């Protein structure tokens, strides 16, 4: 892992925006009025889903996926101009936040600029035609990183954008050679020192499938050699298995605990309940109190927190990647989590979230207890993921404590704590 990766990234919150569906207008300009509200949530970084032109050949849906990139060096005209983008980034910076963009370096659209100008930089099927290695990605064709000229082009593109933005979220980064990412990081650092690198690392099943086909698919341990932050897809399936009833909360807890000793000391995971590829948190936790607990646990986890636009209002519908499908900001069924998120962000600024030993334990397969500890300092979180009350053991001296979330008094008696069903965080 990069020895420059700061543990303080664990204190931070990232907010994802898909420009097309964030507002009715679907433009950069239309985002600017929302920046103060986003900042007030407790957000450090805004990440834009791909902002580049979208291919038309083999397009999915009416407007196409932003991950079918047609030109790495220009702006999707549906969103505005390069000047509009730079103005939006300037407004993000003025609001006290950083800006990251999505880069899709494993593949392009079949009608991309590179496919036309440099067909030799692509993977070709036995018959010589363009192709891709993952069957259901029918709107893209794969690049071939055996071509070092491609490395130069892609790195130059990153350096161009690094003069404007503060970091990159790299789509399916484990499918691109780690040596490329290491070189890219080294070169970009010359243009933008401290640039932030986030890898969309992939789930274990996908890694195994790709390797069985003889293809590149790097593990999280490998990806930490070049990236600051990795998705937690290595354990996300254990969470959804618990929610769906096909797995247990204790199995998910064990998976979290393993991360503490299989990754570098300064590992940073991107903790999320939802993103553009996964169901909304409200879909996973439809009951309000359960959703509040899941949200509090999300922030309490060791790592950077991700909010996908709309999550702060408990939006249940996941917008389409392929069509105009604006976030339902004012649905009568929404749940406003803004005050909770603001308080959780405040709590998350504790030094313990940046540098601690972290462990979790479950009770009755519905309550998860998590502890950040360093020396004599300890933060304990108790989260009822079904929103129900109960009594669990706790390693804290008997007495009264303040719930840092809502200010209520929490009593520990004979080594047990009574929970009402609302999330609890106490300092010991």
Q: Are 270 and 351 in contact (CB under 8 A)?
A: no
Which residues partner with 411 through β-bridges? 400
**What is the mean predicted confidence (pLDDT) over 96-123?**
98
pLDDT value for 373:
97
Pairing of strands 45-48, 13-17: parallel
CA distance 363 to 388: 12
| pLDDT tens column, 180-232 | 999 999 999 999 999 999 999 999 999 999 999 999 899 999 999 999 999 99
Confidence of residue 2 (pLDDT cuts 50, 70, 90): low
Predicted confidence (pLDDT) per residue in 385-401, tens digit: 999 999 999 989 999 99
- Per-residue pLDDT of 43-79, as tens digits, reads 999 999 999 999 999 999 999 999 999 999 999 999 9
Structure tokens at 76: 């999707």
The pLDDT of residue 135 is: 74
Retrieve residue 426's tokens.
């106490």
User: pLDDT for 252-286, tens place per residue?
Assistant: 999 999 999 999 999 999 999 999 999 999 999 99
CA 17, CA 103: separation in Å to the nearest integer?
14
Look at residue 1 in the predicted model and tell me its pLDDT.
Answer: 46
| Cα of 402 vs its chain's centroid, Å | 31
Give tens-digit pLDDT for 290-328: 999 999 999 999 999 999 999 999 999 999 999 999 999
Arithmetic mean of pLDDT over the chain: 96
DSSP 319: P
pLDDT digits (tens, 9 = 90+) for 31-45: 999 999 999 999 999
Report residue 378's pLDDT band, with 50, 70 and 90 as the boundaries.
very high
In the chain, % helix, strand, coil (3-state, to 5) comes to 35, 20, 45
* Cα dihedral sign, 152-120-200-226: negative
């Amino acid at each position: 892992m990069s020895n420059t990766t700061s543990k303080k990234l664990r204190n931070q919150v990232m907010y994802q925006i898909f420009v097309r569906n964030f507002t009715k207008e679907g433009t950069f300009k239309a985002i600017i009025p929302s920046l103060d509200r986003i900042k007030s949530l407790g957000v450090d970084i805004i990440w834009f889903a791909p902002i580049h032109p979208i291919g038309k050949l083999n397009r999915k849906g009416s407007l196409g996926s932003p991950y079918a990139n047609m030109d790495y060096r220009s702006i999707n005209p549906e969103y505005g101009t390069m000047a509009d983008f730079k103005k939006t980034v300037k407004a993000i910076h003025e609001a006290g936040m950083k800006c990251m963009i999505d880069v899709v370096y494993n593949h392009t659209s079949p009608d991309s600029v590179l496919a036309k100008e440099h067909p030799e930089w692509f993977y070709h099927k036995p018959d010589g035609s363009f192709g891709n290695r993952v069957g259901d990605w029918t709107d893209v064709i794969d690049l071939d990183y055996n071509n070092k000229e491609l490395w130069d082009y892609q790195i130059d593109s990153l350096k161009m954008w690094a003069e404007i933005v503060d970091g990159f979220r790299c789509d399916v980064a484990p499918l691109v050679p780690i040596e490329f990412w290491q070189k890219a990081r080294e070169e970009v650092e010359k243009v933008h020192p401290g640039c932030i690198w986030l890898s969309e690392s992939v789930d274990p099943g996908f890694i195994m499938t790709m390797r069985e086909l003889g293809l590149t698919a790097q593990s999280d341990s490998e990806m930490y050699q070049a990236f600051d932050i990795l998705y937690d897809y290595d354990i996300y399936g254990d969470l959804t298995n618990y929610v769906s009833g096909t797995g247990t909360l204790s199995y998910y807890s064990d998976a979290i605990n393993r991360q503490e000793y299989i990754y570098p000391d300064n590992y940073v995971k991107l903790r999320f309940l939802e993103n553009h590829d996964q169901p909304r948190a409200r879909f996973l936790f439809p009951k309000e109190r359960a959703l509040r607990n899941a949200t509090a646990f999300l922030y309490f986890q060791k790592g950077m927190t991700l909010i996908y636009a709309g999550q702060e209002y408990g939006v249940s519908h996941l917008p389409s990647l392929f069509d105009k499908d604006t976030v339902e900001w004012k649905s009568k069924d929404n749940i406003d989590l803004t005050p909770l998120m603001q308080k959780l962000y405040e709590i998350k600024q504790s030094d313990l979230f940046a540098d601690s030993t972290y462990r979790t334990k479950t009770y009755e397969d519905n309550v998860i207890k998590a502890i950040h500890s360093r020396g004599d300092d300890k933060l304990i979180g108790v989260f009822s993921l079904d929103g129900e009350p109960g009594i669990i053991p706790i390693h804290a001296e008997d007495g009264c404590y303040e719930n840092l979330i809502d200010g209520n008094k929490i009593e520990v008696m004979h080594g047990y704590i009574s929970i009402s069903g609302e999330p609890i965080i106490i300092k010991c």
